Amino acid sequence: PPPPPPPPPPPPFFFFTPKTATAILSGLVGSEMCIRDSKEQLAGELHDLGHEVLDLGVHSTDRVDYPDFGAAVGRAVAGGDAEVGLCVCGSGIGIAMAANKVPGVRAATVYDATSARLARQHNDANVLCLGERLIGPEVASEALRAWLNAEFEGGRHVGRIDKLSDLDGSLG
């Protein structure tokens, strides 16, 4: 029998620059149409909120790996080119792991508006990760808006964030 056909190519990756000198990179991994639709929806919402969208590629149908894009998000945030980042992939987990390898990044995979809000308020998450296979477009939109509108509460959470920062250079 003939070999099976190759898997479909992944959708492109996008870099979003919001209005407040922040930058959000969204790495979409997978080939499902819903991921493409979600990316377009989130980009549209960012535009509606006054954010500029800059496409950084991938500009081909070649296979790509989420760690490259999670790391790119992390570097943009940690390097000061971006205040916050947004990653979207199938589960939101692997790309968060990649982003969290970059010192200074606190990437959180969230599943709804409440976990997104708490990720910012309690954990000062500077990268939001969404799993398109696990949440739908409406929940993704609610989570993004909740996260963007939330602020770090400080207080009892500051010492915990300091401990996370201390881990950046002490492990390895």
List, by residue number, the catalytic residues: 89, 122
Q: Up-side HSE of residue 68: CA atoms within 13 Å toward CB?
A: 8
Q: How far is CA 103 from the centre of its chain?
A: 16
Angle between helices 137-149 and 113-121 (to 10 degrees): 20
Q: How far is CA 131 from the centre of its chain?
A: 9
Residues 85, 126, 88: CA angle, nearest 5 degrees:
40
